[in-house]
Amino acid sequence: MSLLRLAYCKREVFNMASNYSLLLLFLVFAGTFLETKGKLTPKFYSSKCPKALSIVQEEVVAAIKNETRIGASLLRLHFHDCFVNGCDASVLLDDTSSFVGEKTAAPNNNSIRGFEVVDHIKAKLEKACPGVVSCADLLALAARDSVVYLGGPSWKVRLGRRDSTTASRSAANTSIPPPTSNISSLISNFAAQNLSLRDLVALSGSHTIGLARCTSFRSRIYNESTIDAAFANSLQGSCPRSGNDDNLANLDHQTPTHFDNLYYKNLLKVKGLLHSDQELFNGTSSADKLVKIYANNTFAFFEHFAKAMINMGNIEPLTGSQGEIRTNCRKVN
């Protein structure tokens, strides 16, 4: 082979290698682009707003130190958001002249709270990275950070949600299960969100923290037989047959500010505060087995709860060019 021919062959090999390298680089970039545009990922803000996660965590911890109850409130906001047309922060929108928001829906009115804390966190995020971090992602992160600070499990929150530009009071009225739900309606409600029976029982464990209003458990403590008599009597003093609707009781009467598995132990003793709680262990459904498992194995509960929170956080997120990134979580831009 002549030297000229050899040089030509080497150049062709070099060009092929260069083209192959460029193709690989393109595929990696395209994959990253598609993941960013269409899927949620824990690293969504790694370059866009590196301090986003630490800002949310710090502010959540400060808020809980100021008022322990707020941890449960932030967790509940995420749940009530995701169950109404997906995790899009629609629950945070105030009423306007053009639509009625979800805050006054039956499951939310005089019940959900924590909006001022969300406002404060959002202001911090806007100062650090204007127009970057969505209110929907803020709720997802705040829920995780609340659980962790109160002693529960951690998980990698998938991020990249965008915020809705509208809300639906009617959807909130029909999509969020009421405390009077029976086990069959609970299963159907969660299945409508592509959540399994295990997700249902594990996510219900969030009632190991927080408080409930008298109006949500009054009927149970006066009219039901599947409740420990002494437990019911202990609640009747602060929750009479009429009046005092806003008086509060601990969802977990043993450790209401610590995220643990005692919620399930309470169910085994028919000491669930809400009718919907005790329905998970009523002797007639497949949920009974899971309640027993979680009551006896904190690790199993924590593992399944973390996975269920990821599943819930994946309910119909807005991504890519859908929706917007609100500057103020209470109103559209």
**Catalytic residue positions?**
80
State the greatest distance between any 2 C-alpha atoms of the chain, in Å, as a whole number.
Answer: 103
Angle of helix 70-82 relative to helix 115-128, nearest 10 degrees, comes to 80
Q: Is 67 annotated as a binding residue?
A: no
Q: Is 245 annotated as a binding residue?
A: no
Q: Is 204 annotated as a binding residue?
A: no
289 close to 139: Cβ distance less than 8 angstroms: no
C-alpha separations of 263 from 194, 274, 294 in Å:
24, 11, 9
Distance (Å, rounded) from C-alpha 45 to C-alpha 235?
46
Q: Is 95 annotated as a binding residue?
A: no
Terminal alpha carbon distance of the chain: 70
Q: Is 275 annotated as a binding residue?
A: no
Q: Is 177 annotated as a binding residue?
A: yes
Distance (Å, rounded) from C-alpha 37 to C-alpha 42?
13
Distance (Å, rounded) from C-alpha 91 to C-alpha 81?
5
* Torsional class of 161: left (φ above 0), alpha (ψ -120 to 50), beta (otherwise): beta
Q: What is the DSSP letter of 162?
A: B
Q: Is 163 annotated as a binding residue?
A: no
Q: Is 319 annotated as a binding residue?
A: no
Distance (Å, rounded) from C-alpha 151 to C-alpha 23?
47
Q: Is 84 annotated as a binding residue?
A: yes
What length is written for the chain? 333
Angle among Cα 211, 217, 223 to the nearest 5 degrees reads: 155
Q: Is 252 annotated as a binding residue?
A: yes
**Which residues are documented as binding site for heme b?**
207
**Which residues are documented as binding site?**
81, 84, 86, 88, 90, 102, 177, 207-208, 252, 255, 260
**Which residues are documented as binding site for substrate?**
177
**Which residues are documented as binding site for Ca(2+)?**
81, 84, 86, 88, 90, 102, 208, 252, 255, 260
